[in-house]
Amino acid sequence: MPDQPAPIHAENDARFTVELASVLNGARRRALRDGDRQIDTAHLLHSLIEADPEVREAFDGGPQLARVLGYLVQRSIGYGLRWQGSVEDSGAVPVVRDPAVDGWSPSALAAMEGALCRAASRGEARAAGLDLLAALAADPECRAVEVLARGGVDARWLADRVAVLTAEGTRHA
């Protein structure tokens, strides 16, 4: 169905925390509302920032967070219009035409897989918001990193900050 951006429901995947599943569901709703063909990394970033306080903390309270949100909010009224009708593919993973993943951009799928790998590397069974944020920041060609850059956030700095926050969280757990 052309009105449905993503027939799969990754938010029901047990490998994601409840909070991250909510973020994925929010990204799905945002893509549908905006009339986008696919859920992309900018949708994921927007939902992460709105829903996850740990993700907002990763921005260290700077004015960059407000600028990034400003760009994300403008997506449906101007800034992101050039993305409509196009597929986000940073080349992070080979494009495979699998009907089970229709509706997700290849870059969004790569970010979700990266989040799962990151969580597994810490021995965690489920990926959380910071895992997805780190995976988004690690793909220099994705739309989320473009939005971060326009908002004045260096993706490498953000990835390093997430690593520090995750390490601190692991020590306090």
pLDDT tens-digit series, residues 115-158 = 999 999 999 999 999 999 999 999 999 999 999 999 999 999 99
Of 68, 166, 168, 63, give the one whose Cα is nearest residue 124: 166
> What average pLDDT is seen over the chain?
82
Q: Which residues does 134 contact at the CB level (< 8 Å), separation at least 6?
A: 114, 115, 118, 159, 162, 163, 166
Give me the pLDDT at residue 79, please. Answer: 52
12 vs 27: which has the higher pLDDT: 27
39 vs 6: which has the higher pLDDT: 39
Task: State the average pLDDT over residues 44-69.
Answer: 92
Give me the pLDDT at residue 61, please. Answer: 76
Q: Indicate the range of 76-80, 81-85, 96-100 predicted with least confidence.
A: 96-100
Give me the pLDDT at residue 82, please. Answer: 55
Give domain limits for the chain.
10-172
Give me the pLDDT at residue 67, please. Answer: 92
CATH of 10-172, one of 3.40.50.10890, 3.90.1510.10, 1.10.1780.10, 3.40.50.300: 1.10.1780.10
Give me the pLDDT at residue 133, please. Answer: 98
Total-model pTM: 0.83
The answer on pLDDT for 5 being more than 90 is no
The 3-state secondary structure of the chain reads: CCCCCCCCCHHHCCCECHHHHHHHHHHHHHHHHHCCCCECHHHHHHHHHHHCHHHHHHCCCCHHHHHHHHHHHHHHHCHHHHHCCCCCCCCCCCCCCCHHHCCECHHHHHHHHHHHHHHHHCCCCCECHHHHHHHHHCCCCCHHHHHHHHCCCCHHHHHHHHHHHHHHHHHHC
Q: Indicate the range of 18-22, 24-28, 73-77 predicted with least confidence.
A: 73-77
Question: Whole-angstrom Cα distance, residue 139 to residue 41?
Answer: 10
